[in-house]
Structure 1
Amino acid sequence: MSNESITIKNGTFLGDTREFCEQQKLEEIKKQKYLDPLYDAAFKAFLSDEQALVSFLNGVFHLEGDNKIKSVTVKNTEINIIFPQVKTFRLDIRAKTANGFCINVEMQKAKPLHFVERVLLQHSAFLLQSKYELDQETFAGQSTNLTDAERAERESRRYEIPPTFAIWICDFTIQQQDNYRGTWAIRNEKGLTISDKVKYIIYDLTQFNKPELQIKTDEERWLFLLKHAGSSQSLPDFGDETIAKAIRRILVNNASETLLREQVKSMVLTEEEQDYLAWIKMKGVELGADKKAREMARDMLLDNEPIDKIVKYTKLPDSEVLEIKASLDQK
């Protein structure tokens, strides 16, 4: 449809504009039972509540008993670190736990170019922001006339960083992972971790295929709901009141007009997504080609065709074909 195209809506002429696209999307959303938390607005409504975030983080870090996180402080998502030629970062959810862990939780619906580099760059900004805030808390109120003891303490903590953990929930295949969860850190060639203060936990929802009856942990419960809410007519609360409240927050009938409008904006193509589509067109990559190739691979696997033959005809890498095979074997 070209920009010159005209549509009549409630007696009003509307061009093929973002406003028109948003109105169409709003009408679609109102027919659904739940807002889809794989998009920013509903994701934040679903998970940025402090009780929900505590439950989610305890699940992510597999914490139990006295080791559980008791409380978190949800912080401003704006990052004040500015990189030349790079847009200002605004995180999805940023929080600090009662024991001083700095947490960033990101929902990524579409795979951006240079995804790994984006994770690293964004985390670098998050780390610098967290370091700045730690210093502000530690040395707030110090006068300019410092004692030798105060100067010595400041020097001893000059390069101290707080633990910073990035959690990325991705609705696309992570090529580097062979499971739905990957925990990444900075390690040497022997696999020794240089610091436990920086970690990346990346979830690949395309590989999370557990049915409801097999869900056992808090981690699995939250992932199940995130993955299925957008297409479900009934979500289980697993007998957990915190989860039940989170589900109620994304009920379409409970959503405020503001939340609905924010959800619409997050579902209509952003400038970044339009840039990505333009890049695909410039590279001559046809949208849907990868999906068709994966569907072909799936059909060939069901016909018990050999892996090398599937790779030859679909042009998919061995690793992707094996991923599809593993998902079929689980069913």
Structure 2
Amino acid sequence: MLRDRYINLLTDFGFKRLFGTEPNKDLLIDFLNTILPPEHHVRDLTYRNNENIGNTTLDRKAIFDIYCESDSGEKFIVEIQKAKQNYFKDRSVYYATFPIQEQATRGDWNYQLTAVYTVGILDFIFDDHKDDPTIMHVVELKNQQGEVFYDKLKFIYLELPKFTKQIEQLNNHFEKWLFLLKHLYELDTPPAALQEGVFRRLFEVAEIAQFSPIERETYENSLKYYRDLKNVVDTSREEGREEGREEGRREIVANMLRANVSVESISQMTGLSIATIQSIQAALDQR
């Protein structure tokens, strides 16, 4: 039974409820404007189909958490990533090609593009960033002198584990967003420091008591999935005998399979091979 007052924003349901619905787009606009350069601040946005099947039936499709477009044409992919994933940077670049390609027009075209942003909210730290205290990383296409060659393609990554401030230490709007992304579900009441306009709306939207029975069930499943995945990560970090760690991982994968998480998703999120996951699935089927 759920005892928290507010949702966990790092769950799929919590993230999409807050940022991915038309009635709450003011929250997404405020969040984006907190991390975007002033020249690309968003006044309004439209949600786009988050599933892109490519140009032919043979193309691999991409499914974004949130895909939207500003009123001035900029495209935004906004994703939550809960665990390290093999080739995560490669996937980010691949996903960014879809909003680029869809701008092509039939007939004569001068190839002018609008900006494309990929925003990744990460519940992990990149291996090559472990000694870097920077929380927000902005990646652009640059030349050998470090000068920006193309300013319409940007990748923005927020490494949440690096953010450790408590409520009384928050200095600005950006830090308040980071705090809520990490700690909203732990709060019993809205703190005085977070009772400004947009955050008052956030607390209203995120209150579990306002959910319908179907929404509560969906959230509970999403929360269980998040906790199982977190256990996978935590188990992999534990010291001790390898056999024990491996057994723990297999049991958590089994729980994820019971929750109908796809084999491909489990493989991406845990780093285990598809063959290993399929063997666990086969063992479950025989029980």
Give TM-score, length-normalised by structure 1. Answer: 0.62
1:226 matched to 2:181? The reply is yes
Quote the sequence identity (%): 22
1:59 matched to 2:34? The reply is yes
Counterpart selection for 1:279 from 265, 272, 282:
272
Distance across 1 between alignment mates of 2:8 and 2:82: 11
Q: How does 1:196-207 map to 2 (within 5 A)?
A: 196-207=151-162
| Offset, 1:274 | 2.8
Distance across 2 between alignment mates of 1:61 and 1:214: 23
Counterpart selection for 2:165 from 193, 203, 210:
210
Distance across 2 between alignment mates of 1:197 and 1:127: 10
| Offset, 1:126 | 3.2
What amino acid does structure 2 have at the position aligned with 1:195? Y
Change over 3 Å in CA distance of 1:278–1:73 after alignment to 2? closer
Q: Deviations over 1:25-61 (max 9, x none)?
A: xx3xx22222111011111111232211111111111
**Equivalent position of 2:195 in the other structure:** 239
Tell me which moved more, 245-254 or 234-243.
234-243
1:115 matched to 2:97? The reply is no
Q: How does 1:91-130 map to 2 (within 5 A)?
A: 91-129=64-102
Change over 3 Å in CA distance of 1:100–1:216 after alignment to 2? farther
Counterpart selection for 1:81 from 30, 44, 54:
54
C-alpha contact (below 8 Å) 1:184/1:200 kept by paired residues = yes
What amino acid does structure 1 have at the position aligned with 2:8? D
| Offset, 1:245 | 1.4
Report the secondary structure of 1:279's partner residue. coil
What amino acid does structure 2 have at the position aligned with 1:218? H
Distance across 2 between alignment mates of 1:254 and 1:201: 32
Q: Which has the larger radius of gyration?
A: 1
Distance across 1 between alignment mates of 2:35 and 2:49: 22
| Offset, 1:74 | 2.1
What amino acid does structure 1 have at the position aligned with 2:128? Q
Distance across 1 between alignment mates of 2:8 and 2:197: 20
Q: How does 1:1-331 map to 2 (within 5 A)?
A: 27=1, 30-48=2-20, 49-61=24-36, 63=38, 68-81=41-54, 88-129=61-102, 131-132=103-104, 135=105, 154-155=108-109, 157=110, 159-177=111-129, 178=132, 179-236=134-191, 238-267=194-223, 268=225, 269=256, 270-271=261-262, 272-276=264-268, 277=270, 279=272
C-alpha contact (below 8 Å) 1:170/1:203 kept by paired residues = yes
| Offset, 1:165 | 0.6
Report the secondary structure of 2:179's partner residue. helix
Change over 3 Å in CA distance of 1:90–1:265 after alignment to 2? farther
Report the secondary structure of 1:234's partner residue. coil
| Structure 2, unaligned runs of 5 or more | 226-255, 277-287
Distance across 2 between alignment mates of 1:59 and 1:224: 14
Report the secondary structure of 1:70's partner residue. coil
Tell me which moved more, 188-197 or 120-129.
120-129
C-alpha contact (below 8 Å) 1:81/1:128 kept by paired residues = no
Change over 3 Å in CA distance of 1:56–1:83 after alignment to 2? farther
Change over 3 Å in CA distance of 1:223–1:278 after alignment to 2? closer
What amino acid does structure 2 have at the position aligned with 1:61? L
Tell me which moved more, 83-92 or 47-56.
83-92
C-alpha contact (below 8 Å) 2:53/2:59 kept by paired residues = no
Q: Deviations over 1:273-319 (max 9, x none)?
A: 43244717989xxxxxxxxxxxxxxxxxxxxxxxxxxxxxxxxxxxx
Distance across 2 between alignment mates of 1:102 and 1:128: 12
C-alpha contact (below 8 Å) 1:40/1:266 kept by paired residues = yes
What amino acid does structure 1 have at the position aligned with 2:212? S
Report the secondary structure of 2:100's partner residue. helix
C-alpha contact (below 8 Å) 2:54/2:60 kept by paired residues = no
What amino acid does structure 2 have at the position aligned with 1:247? F
Distance across 2 between alignment mates of 1:84 and 1:206: 39
Give TM-score, length-normalised by structure 2. Answer: 0.71
Distance across 2 between alignment mates of 1:278 and 1:239: 41
Change over 3 Å in CA distance of 1:281–1:122 after alignment to 2? closer
C-alpha contact (below 8 Å) 1:59/1:217 kept by paired residues = no
| RMSD of equivalent CA atoms | 2.8
| Offset, 1:68 | 4.5
**Equivalent position of 2:284 in the other structure:** none
Change over 3 Å in CA distance of 1:90–1:223 after alignment to 2? same
